[in-house]
Structure 1
Amino acid sequence: MGKKRILLVTPPYHCGMLEAAGTWLPLGLVYLAGAVREAGHEVIIYDAMSLYHGWEEIACLIEDFKPHILASGAITATVNDSLKLCHLAKEIDPQVITVLGNVHPTFMYEEVLASGVVDFIVRGEGEETFSELVECLAAEDNPQKVAGLAFLKDGGPFLTPERPFVVDLDRLKPAWDLLDWSVYTYHPQPGSRLAIVSSSRGCVAGCLFCSQRLFWRGSWRARSPEAFVDELAYLRRVYGVDVVMISDEYPTRDRQRWQRILDLLLQRDLEIEILMETRVDDIIRDEDIMEKYRLAGITHIYVGVESPDQQKIDLFQKDIRVEASKKALDIINRADIVSETSFVVGTPDETKDSLNQTLELAKFYDPDMAFFLPLTPWPYTPLYQRFRDYIEDYNYSHYNLIEPIIRPLAMSRAELRRAMFSATGRFFAHKFARLETLTPYKRGFMLTVLQLLLERSYLASEMMSLLVPFKRFLKGNAS
């Protein structure tokens, strides 16, 4: 059996949203690398996205490394660049095997395979499927034996049986040593080293606009608290990580387990700031232990409010009450934890007046950070079928929660875009005008956010006129 050279690559996609907050490592590729390396294959991770490398640099690396297998992941917004990556690899070496995974290829495998540049799609959770595929190819065996794949056979897509999920997540071994750690940082904390870490996988919520329930088949599995905190301690000790983003959709689902994680963090005092998201209901449930959250290092919590209109919440099948969202944000704020949320706008009945009403209610909810995002029905979700008659933009690269793809009846997509950006700018102008009411910790954080919005954000040009008056806060802070 021959050993394979495997190149795991991120496509060079940028939209200006996540880049404003930090440089984020490709956790999925780190897990894949660990799985195939354990079998003895040679693997490197090339994070072209985080390095801001272009196609010429990617081509040079492919030519130098000469991979037998090139693999990447794709969400809907990045799939065009992922396909271009596979096409480039085939141009350089027609014999290279190309593999795509992650959410979009899992559900849109027919469309992806029709491109003619992807040999295999890993459907669903990737570690076991990808490592078995590599072993199969190394042995020159039949890939039909590998569960969890899609590929072309006899001129059409062929699916192997669905693969069961990994039962014990603690046994997976991410290849942290293959990353260039100097790249990854959290911009609100200059000089920081940022990791993304998983403590659980899956979500049991039924939100119609989300891909995660579909991808994880409505399941939820968790790592042990001890293994998770041990990993944070390792990243702190070996790589100097001082900020961690928990990648989970729902890390707090099991309160007993979550409390154990918080207790371990308190005991070990890792000096790590932790950013996370969770559900409104869990924040309300945990009101009595929010001080423990903060003492354990939780400094930033995102909760999905989505809308202050209960009818829209019900439309999205998001099982919360609007009054609960306000309560959850108040609880986070009282704990001196940065609160963040987003509001989905741009449904067919959206108007400038309704968007302004959402803005005013966002001010009342009083999160520290709020963003107004266009409704973006991923093409494999129930919401896509519901709104398909209103979709005007079919360029997947625009499915990035920045560019509106649906046209409301009362406004153009360009008008909606301007109104969204204006609402975000006016929200932050409202927050910055009230900086003196914030705690010293939050005031310092928001001053850094102001600078990032003006200098790095996708919103910068649209918001400049609204936020320039607040530059004096930066000057005062610097002095």
Structure 2
Amino acid sequence: MSAANNKILLVTPPYHSGIPEISGRWLPLGLVYLAGAAREAGVEAEIYDAMATGDGYPEIERRIAEAAPRYVATGAMTATVGDAIRVLESAKALDPAVITILGGIHPSFMHPEILGSSAAVDYIVVGEGEQTLATLLKTLEEGGDPAGVPGVAYREGGEAKATPPAPLIEDLDALAPAWDLVDWSLYSYFVIPDSRFAAIGTSRGCSHDCAFCSQQQFWRKAWRAREPVKVAQEVALLHRRYGVNAILITDEHPTRDAARWERLLDLLIEQALPVHLILETRAEDVLRDRDIFWKYAKAGVVHISLGIESADRQMLERLGKEQQTDAAAEALSVIHAHGIVSEASFIVGFPDETPESVRATLKTAQRYNPDNANFFALTPWPYGGMPELAPLIREKDYARYNFIDPVLEPEFMSLKELQAAINDCYRRFYMGKMLEFMTMKDTFRRGYLVRATKLLMSSSFVIGKLNPWGSGR
């Protein structure tokens, strides 16, 4: 393989945890933005979503060889970092001269460990990626010194080095996502028939202090938003040019600014496009918007996720979650009243967790009665908050840091017992939902949820997890 003069191949690591793939194939929005940044730096870009194609390493190596890029880049969170590094190792094995770049949340905080453990990683983009990648590529193309690029970690003389942090991007609307490089045939939201599925970001960051979350660290507790008119124009572009009719809003907190959010809803209503929107927000924002919640539905919002985490006030305080314990149930009622599908997440696996406390969490979920529920294992990040939990971590394989596989062993439960208890929560919650779904009067919500449940229950991964005679792992 001989490297092209200036092409970057942006690759998703082929990581599969089993759950996200059940409901759809998800667009790697970060790579779409990075491809646009690379082009603005004068470098040809190509996106290769090996996760969506289901390709393994032989196919990845073949694709890299065919593309013959000068640069190979990938991004990672904790669970995917091993696969991301292996992608770069594959590229180096094919051509030692190729320049490899890694980014994402986990590498941003763990770059000394990564640079010290794999010689296949040349550069790590620390923090927000677009401006840093563009500057790095321009510097490398011109034969400059990467030491002058803010927000980069690299190796010099065998030692890991890091430049000062790059500033956060002030104008998110100035970024140019490379929508034309997307293979749109890959992306579908299985719950909505004949869908073409996109993802957009309307804001970045979160100013809350949830101890288990990495987002507020990555975004430095800042929150920046795009102009509503620009977002509405992007939705229209995706629908009219690429046939998109389902969109995931990737923001950590899209509804933070009430006036801005209502303006966006109004613009989407004016457009009257047949586009379904999926988003995550906070229970307090749902209650704040109770009187205008009809606008959510009219603007196309069909699915809202809430991070409820716990109904226990002390537990919420331990998590740094600023939420009233009664807000979640009330918010779910508002969502359901407008025919929107609800999803709620709960966290289990605390140091003092017991089989009884897990059952209490399940009862809370059943009492609140969201349409969908997730029971996530508490996962302390190797770089994050809650360092006091480190002595209880039993799993060092980062691939298991996915909220599905427990990595922290409570004092009164083994990992196997905790996994079995989580499996039981899912089994009991969804066993009680199918009749409710089948008898719903709202035809859209009924069809949506029946399809989602059938996808869930027919998944070989889920069948293996929920098998009460299985190993518990």
Normalising by the smaller structure, the TM-score range is over 0.9
Deviation at 1:465, TM superposition (A): 7.7
| Cross-structure match for 2:229 | 226
Residue by residue, what CA displacement relative to the aligned partner does 1:333-381 show, whole Å, maximum 9, x if unpaired?
1111111011100112111111111111111111110011100111111
Deviation at 1:413, TM superposition (A): 0.8
Does the aligned pair in 2 maintain the 1:273–1:298 contact within 8 Å?
yes
* In structure 2, C-alpha distance between the alignment counterparts of 1:142 and 1:462, rounded to whole Å: 50
Equivalent residue runs for 1:30-109 within 5 Å: 30-109=32-111
Within the candidate set 283, 289, 294, 1:291 is matched to: 294
| Cross-structure match for 2:115 | 113
Within the candidate set 416, 425, 429, 1:427 is matched to: 429
Does the aligned pair in 1 maintain the 2:205–2:222 contact within 8 Å?
yes
| Structure 2 residue 324 is the aligned partner of structure 1 residue 321 | yes
Q: Secondary structure at the match of 1:14?
A: coil
Greater than 4 Å deviation, 4+ residue runs: none
Does the aligned pair in 1 maintain the 2:5–2:70 contact within 8 Å?
no
Equivalent residue runs for 1:367-446 within 5 Å: 367-383=370-386, 385-435=387-437, 436-437=439-440, 439-446=442-449
**Residue-pair matches, total:** 464
Which AA in structure 1 matches 2:451? T
Equivalent residue runs for 1:15-34 within 5 Å: 15-34=17-36
| Cross-structure match for 1:12 | 14
* In structure 1, C-alpha distance between the alignment counterparts of 2:9 and 2:442, rounded to whole Å: 47
Q: Secondary structure at the match of 2:326?
A: helix
Equivalent residue runs for 1:235-314 within 5 Å: 235-314=238-317
* In structure 1, C-alpha distance between the alignment counterparts of 2:249 and 2:403, rounded to whole Å: 21
* In structure 1, C-alpha distance between the alignment counterparts of 2:96 and 2:427, rounded to whole Å: 49
Q: Secondary structure at the match of 2:320?
A: coil
| Cross-structure match for 1:145 | 148
* In structure 1, C-alpha distance between the alignment counterparts of 2:359 and 2:133, rounded to whole Å: 48
* In structure 2, C-alpha distance between the alignment counterparts of 1:456 and 1:228, rounded to whole Å: 35
| Structure 2 residue 473 is the aligned partner of structure 1 residue 449 | no
Equivalent residue runs for 1:161-240 within 5 Å: 161-240=164-243
Which AA in structure 1 matches 2:67? F
Gaps of 5+ in 1: 467-479
Q: Secondary structure at the match of 1:182?
A: helix
Q: Secondary structure at the match of 1:434?
A: helix
* In structure 2, C-alpha distance between the alignment counterparts of 1:130 and 1:217, rounded to whole Å: 19
Residue by residue, what CA displacement relative to the aligned partner does 1:153-196 show, whole Å, maximum 9, x if unpaired?
23322111211111111111100111110010001112210001
Q: Secondary structure at the match of 1:458?
A: helix
Residue by residue, what CA displacement relative to the aligned partner does 1:227-246 show, whole Å, maximum 9, x if unpaired?
00100000000110000000
Which AA in structure 2 matches 1:426? R
Residue by residue, what CA displacement relative to the aligned partner does 1:260-315 show, whole Å, maximum 9, x if unpaired?
10000110111100000011111111111111110110010001000111111110
Does the aligned pair in 1 maintain the 2:303–2:342 contact within 8 Å?
yes
Deviation at 1:91, TM superposition (A): 0.7
Instruction: Give the structure-2-normalised TM-score.
Output: 0.96
Identity of aligned residues (%): 45
Does the aligned pair in 1 maintain the 2:42–2:138 contact within 8 Å?
no
Which AA in structure 1 matches 2:331? A
* In structure 2, C-alpha distance between the alignment counterparts of 1:280 and 1:236, rounded to whole Å: 29
Gaps of 5+ in 2: none
Deviation at 1:438, TM superposition (A): 5.6
| Cross-structure match for 2:162 | 159
* In structure 2, C-alpha distance between the alignment counterparts of 1:43 and 1:433, rounded to whole Å: 49
| Cross-structure match for 1:129 | 132
Deviation at 1:28, TM superposition (A): 0.6
Residue by residue, what CA displacement relative to the aligned partner does 1:395-436 show, whole Å, maximum 9, x if unpaired?
000001110001112221111111101111111111223232
Which AA in structure 1 matches 2:421? A
Deviation at 1:323, TM superposition (A): 0.8
Does the aligned pair in 2 maintain the 1:3–1:40 contact within 8 Å?
no
Does the aligned pair in 1 maintain the 2:249–2:278 contact within 8 Å?
yes
| Cross-structure match for 1:356 | 359
| Shift in CA distance, 401/458, structure 1 to aligned 2, threshold 3 Å | farther
Q: Secondary structure at the match of 1:305?
A: strand
Q: Secondary structure at the match of 1:446?
A: helix
Which stretch shifts more, 457-466 or 70-79? 457-466
* In structure 2, C-alpha distance between the alignment counterparts of 1:354 and 1:453, rounded to whole Å: 25
Q: Secondary structure at the match of 2:345?
A: strand
Q: Secondary structure at the match of 1:355?
A: helix
Does the aligned pair in 2 maintain the 1:129–1:149 contact within 8 Å?
yes
- Over the aligned positions, Cα root-mean-square deviation in angstroms equals 1.4
* In structure 2, C-alpha distance between the alignment counterparts of 1:353 and 1:33, rounded to whole Å: 49
Which AA in structure 2 matches 1:404? P
* In structure 2, C-alpha distance between the alignment counterparts of 1:27 and 1:120, rounded to whole Å: 21
Residue by residue, what CA displacement relative to the aligned partner does 1:211-261 show, whole Å, maximum 9, x if unpaired?
100000000011100100100000000110000000000111111110110
* In structure 2, C-alpha distance between the alignment counterparts of 1:271 and 1:191, rounded to whole Å: 13
Does the aligned pair in 2 maintain the 1:17–1:457 contact within 8 Å?
no
* In structure 1, C-alpha distance between the alignment counterparts of 2:453 and 2:392, rounded to whole Å: 35
Does the aligned pair in 2 maintain the 1:8–1:44 contact within 8 Å?
yes
| Shift in CA distance, 457/255, structure 1 to aligned 2, threshold 3 Å | farther
Deviation at 1:56, TM superposition (A): 0.6
Does the aligned pair in 2 maintain the 1:454–1:464 contact within 8 Å?
no
| Cross-structure match for 1:472 | none
